[in-house]
Structure 1
Amino acid sequence: MTTLPNPIRDWFDRRGWEMHPHQREMLARAGAPCQLLIAPTGGGKTLAGFLPTLAELAEDPAPGLHTLYISPLKALAADIRRNLMTPIEETGLPIRVEDRTGDTPSSRKKRQRADPPHILLTTPESLALLTSYEDAPRIFAGLQRIVVDEIHALAESKRGDQLMLALARLSALRPGLRRVGLSATVEDPAAIARLLARHPDPCEIVEADPGPAPDIAMLDTEASPPWSGGGAAYSIPAVLEEVRRHRTTLIFHNTRAQAEIFFHNLWLANEEALPIGIHHGSLDRGQREKVEAAMVRGELRAIVCTGSLDLGIDWGDVDLVIQIGAPKNVKRLVQRIGRANHRYNAPSKARLVPANRFEVVECVAALEAVRAHDLDGEPRGPGPRDVLCQHILIAACAGPFDADTLFAEMTTAGAYAGLDRGAFDSCLDFCATGGYALRAYDQWQRLKQRPDGLWQLRDPRSAPRIRQNIGTIQDTDTLKVRWRGRGGAPLGEIEEGFAASLTQGDTFLIGGQIVRYEGLRELTVEVSRDAARKPKIATFNGTKFATSTQLSQRILRMFRQENWPELPQHTADWLALQREVSRLPRPDRLLIESFPHDGREQLVVYGFAGRNAQQTLGLLLTKRMEEEGLAPMGFVSTDYATLIWGLDAVTDPRPLFDLARLEAGLETWLAGNAVMKRTFRASATIAGLIERQVGGQRKSGRQATMSSDILYDTLLKYDPDHLLMRITHEEAMRGLVDFDRIREMCARVGDRVDLLRLSRVTPLAAPLFLEPGRVPIAGRADERLLEEEVTRLLDESGLAQIEA
Structure 2
Amino acid sequence: MTSLPPIFSDWFSHRGWTIHPHQHDMLERAEAPALLLIAPTGGGKTLAGFLPTLAELADGTHEGLHTLYVSPLKALAADIKRNLRTPVAEMSLPIRIEDRTGDTSYTQKRKQRADPPHILLTTPESLALLTSYEDAPRMFKGLQRIIVDEIHALAESKRGDQLMLALSRLQAIAPDLRRVGLSATVEDPTAIARALACHPDPCPILQADPGPDPDIQMMITAEKPPWAGGGAKYAIPEVLEQVRQHKTTLIFHNTRAQAEIYFHNLWLANTDDLPIGIHHGSLSREQREKVETAMVNGDLRAIVCTGSLDLGIDWGDVDLVIQVGAPKNVKRLVQRIGRANHRYNAPSKALLVPANRFEVVECVAALEAVKAHDLDGDPKGAGPRDVLCQHILIRACAGPFQADTLFDEVKTVGAYAGLSRAAFDDCLEFCATGGYALRAYDKWKRLLQTDDGAWQLRDPRAAQRIRMNIGTIQDTDTLKVRLRGNFKPLGEVEEAFAATLTPGDTFLIGGQIVRYEGLREMTVEVSRRADKTPKIATFMGTKFANSTQLSQRILRMLQQDKWPDLPDHTAEWLGLQRQYSKMPEADRILVESFGFDEREYTCAYGFAGRNAMQTLGMLLTQRMEELHLHPMGFVATDYATLIWGLDRVDDPAPLFRAPDLRDGFENWLSGNAVMKKTFRGSATIAGLIERNLPQARKSGRQATFSSDILYDTLAKYDPNHLMLQITREEAMRGLVDFGRIEEMLARTAGRVDHVKTKRITPFAAPLFLEMGRVPVKGAAQERLIEETAAQMMDSAGLSGL
TM-score with structure 2 length normalisation? 0.99
Classify the secondary structure of the residue corresponding to 2:99: strand
Superposed, 1:136-285 pairs within 5 Å as: 136-200=136-200, 202-285=202-285
Query: Aligned pair count?
Result: 801
Classify the secondary structure of the residue corresponding to 2:408: helix
Distance in 2 of aligned mates of 1:502 and 1:511? 18
Distance in 2 of aligned mates of 1:374 and 1:95? 41
Superposed, 1:663-742 pairs within 5 Å as: 663-742=662-741
Classify the secondary structure of the residue corresponding to 1:153: helix
Q: Which runs of 5+ in 1 are unaligned?
A: none
Higher mean C-alpha deviation, range 139-148 or range 496-505: 496-505
Question: What amino acid is aligned across from residue 574 of structure 2 in structure 1?
Answer: L
Classify the secondary structure of the residue corresponding to 1:380: coil
Percentage of pairs with the same residue: 75
Classify the secondary structure of the residue corresponding to 2:456: strand
Instruction: Give the corresponding residue for 1:359.
Output: 359
Instruction: Give the corresponding residue for 1:28.
Output: 28
What does the per-residue CA deviation read over 1:617-650, in whole Å, with 9 as the maximum and x for residues that have no partner?
A: 0000111111222111110000000000111111
Distance in 2 of aligned mates of 1:208 and 1:98? 28
Question: What's the CA shift for 1:549?
Answer: 0.4
Instruction: Give the corresponding residue for 2:771.
Output: 772
Instruction: Give the corresponding residue for 2:488.
Output: 489
Question: What amino acid is aligned across from residue 716 of structure 1 in structure 2?
Answer: A
Instruction: Give the corresponding residue for 1:533.
Output: 532
Question: What amino acid is aligned across from residue 221 of structure 1 in structure 2?
Answer: T
Instruction: Give the corresponding residue for 2:611.
Output: 612
Question: What's the CA shift for 1:770?
Answer: 0.4
Instruction: Give the corresponding residue for 1:623.
Output: 622
Distance in 2 of aligned mates of 1:202 and 1:333? 27
Distance in 2 of aligned mates of 1:649 and 1:672? 29
Question: What amino acid is aligned across from residue 380 of structure 2 in structure 1?
Answer: R
Question: What's the CA shift for 1:322?
Answer: 0.1
Instruction: Give the corresponding residue for 2:379.
Output: 379
Distance in 2 of aligned mates of 1:696 and 1:4? 52
Superposed, 1:395-410 pairs within 5 Å as: 395-410=395-410
Classify the secondary structure of the residue corresponding to 1:761: coil
Question: What's the CA shift for 1:499?
Answer: 1.4
Q: Is the 8 A contact 1:320 1:350 kept in 2?
A: yes
Instruction: Give the corresponding residue for 2:757.
Output: 758
Question: What's the CA shift for 1:794?
Answer: 3.3
Distance in 2 of aligned mates of 1:545 and 1:115? 44
Question: What's the CA shift for 1:489?
Answer: 2.9
Question: What's the CA shift for 1:452?
Answer: 0.8
Q: Is the 8 A contact 2:190 2:202 kept in 1?
A: no
Q: Is the 8 A contact 1:81 1:97 kept in 2?
A: yes
Question: What amino acid is aligned across from residue 533 of structure 1 in structure 2?
Answer: K
Question: What's the CA shift for 1:61?
Answer: 3.9
Classify the secondary structure of the residue corresponding to 1:517: strand
Distance in 2 of aligned mates of 1:428 and 1:206? 39
Residues 525 and 393 (structure 1 numbering): CA distance in 2 closer, same or farther, change over 3 Å?
Answer: same
Does 1:583 find its partner at 2:592? no
Residues 543 and 73 (structure 1 numbering): CA distance in 2 closer, same or farther, change over 3 Å?
Answer: farther
Distance in 2 of aligned mates of 1:475 and 1:50? 32
Distance in 1 of aligned mates of 2:150 and 2:548? 23
Classify the secondary structure of the residue corresponding to 1:181: strand
Question: What amino acid is aligned across from residue 97 of structure 1 in structure 2?
Answer: I
Does 1:572 find its partner at 2:571? yes
Does 1:344 find its partner at 2:344? yes
Distance in 2 of aligned mates of 1:173 and 1:529? 54
Question: What's the CA shift for 1:697?
Answer: 1.7
Instruction: Give the corresponding residue for 1:316.
Output: 316
Residues 86 and 543 (structure 1 numbering): CA distance in 2 closer, same or farther, change over 3 Å?
Answer: farther
Distance in 1 of aligned mates of 2:444 and 2:390? 13
Question: What amino acid is aligned across from residue 34 of structure 1 in structure 2?
Answer: A
Does 1:743 find its partner at 2:746? no
Distance in 1 of aligned mates of 2:372 and 2:683? 42
Question: What's the CA shift for 1:316?
Answer: 2.4
Distance in 2 of aligned mates of 1:541 and 1:43? 37
What does the per-residue CA deviation read over 1:555-579, in whole Å, with 9 as the maximum and x for residues that have no partner?
A: 0000111110100000000000110
Classify the secondary structure of the residue corresponding to 1:27: helix
Distance in 2 of aligned mates of 1:718 and 1:276? 57
Q: Is the 8 A contact 1:246 1:319 kept in 2?
A: yes
Instruction: Give the corresponding residue for 2:98.
Output: 98
Does 1:448 find its partner at 2:460? no
Question: What's the CA shift for 1:518?
Answer: 1.7
Residues 540 and 118 (structure 1 numbering): CA distance in 2 closer, same or farther, change over 3 Å?
Answer: farther
Distance in 2 of aligned mates of 1:100 and 1:229? 42
Superposed, 1:632-647 pairs within 5 Å as: 632-647=631-646
Distance in 2 of aligned mates of 1:186 and 1:315? 22
Distance in 1 of aligned mates of 2:540 and 2:461? 35
TM-score with structure 1 length normalisation? 0.99
Superposed, 1:646-657 pairs within 5 Å as: 646-657=645-656
Distance in 2 of aligned mates of 1:447 and 1:536? 52
Question: What's the CA shift for 1:91?
Answer: 0.3
Distance in 2 of aligned mates of 1:177 and 1:696? 39
Distance in 1 of aligned mates of 2:189 and 2:541? 28
What does the per-residue CA deviation read over 1:45-76, in whole Å, with 9 as the maximum and x for residues that have no partner?
A: 10000000000001344220000000000000
Question: What's the CA shift for 1:766?
Answer: 0.1
Question: What amino acid is aligned across from residue 461 of structure 1 in structure 2?
Answer: R
Question: What's the CA shift for 1:790?
Answer: 3.0
Question: What's the CA shift for 1:786?
Answer: 2.2
Q: Is the 8 A contact 1:168 1:413 kept in 2?
A: yes
Instruction: Give the corresponding residue for 2:783.
Output: 784
What does the per-residue CA deviation read over 1:653-701, in whole Å, with 9 as the maximum and x for residues that have no partner?
A: 1211111221111111111211111100000000000000111521111
Classify the secondary structure of the residue corresponding to 2:562: coil
Q: Is the 8 A contact 2:60 2:94 kept in 1?
A: no
Instruction: Give the corresponding residue for 2:416.
Output: 416
Classify the secondary structure of the residue corresponding to 1:697: coil
Distance in 1 of aligned mates of 2:60 and 2:278? 45
What does the per-residue CA deviation read over 1:514-571, in whole Å, with 9 as the maximum and x for residues that have no partner?
A: 1111222222212111110111346445442100000000000001111101000000
What does the per-residue CA deviation read over 1:389-419, in whole Å, with 9 as the maximum and x for residues that have no partner?
A: 0000001000111001101100101111111
Q: Is the 8 A contact 1:98 1:117 kept in 2?
A: yes
Q: Is the 8 A contact 1:41 1:312 kept in 2?
A: yes
Question: What's the CA shift for 1:795?
Answer: 2.6
Instruction: Give the corresponding residue for 1:126.
Output: 126
Instruction: Give the corresponding residue for 2:513.
Output: 514
Question: What amino acid is aligned across from residue 180 of structure 1 in structure 2?
Answer: V
Question: What amino acid is aligned across from residue 784 of structure 2 in structure 1?
Answer: L
Q: Is the 8 A contact 1:328 1:547 kept in 2?
A: yes
What does the per-residue CA deviation read over 1:194-247, in whole Å, with 9 as the maximum and x for residues that have no partner?
A: 111112354110001110010000111110100000000001100000000000
Question: What's the CA shift for 1:3?
Answer: 2.4
Distance in 2 of aligned mates of 1:186 and 1:202? 14
Instruction: Give the corresponding residue for 2:117.
Output: 117
Question: What's the CA shift for 1:796?
Answer: 2.9
Does 1:558 find its partner at 2:557? yes
Distance in 2 of aligned mates of 1:544 and 1:707? 28
Question: What amino acid is aligned across from residue 675 of structure 1 in structure 2?
Answer: V
Higher mean C-alpha deviation, range 493-502 or range 19-28: 493-502
Q: Which runs of 5+ in 2 are unaligned?
A: none
Question: What amino acid is aligned across from residue 801 of structure 1 in structure 2?
Answer: G
Higher mean C-alpha deviation, range 611-620 or range 519-528: 519-528
Distance in 2 of aligned mates of 1:662 and 1:400? 48
Q: Is the 8 A contact 1:612 1:736 kept in 2?
A: yes
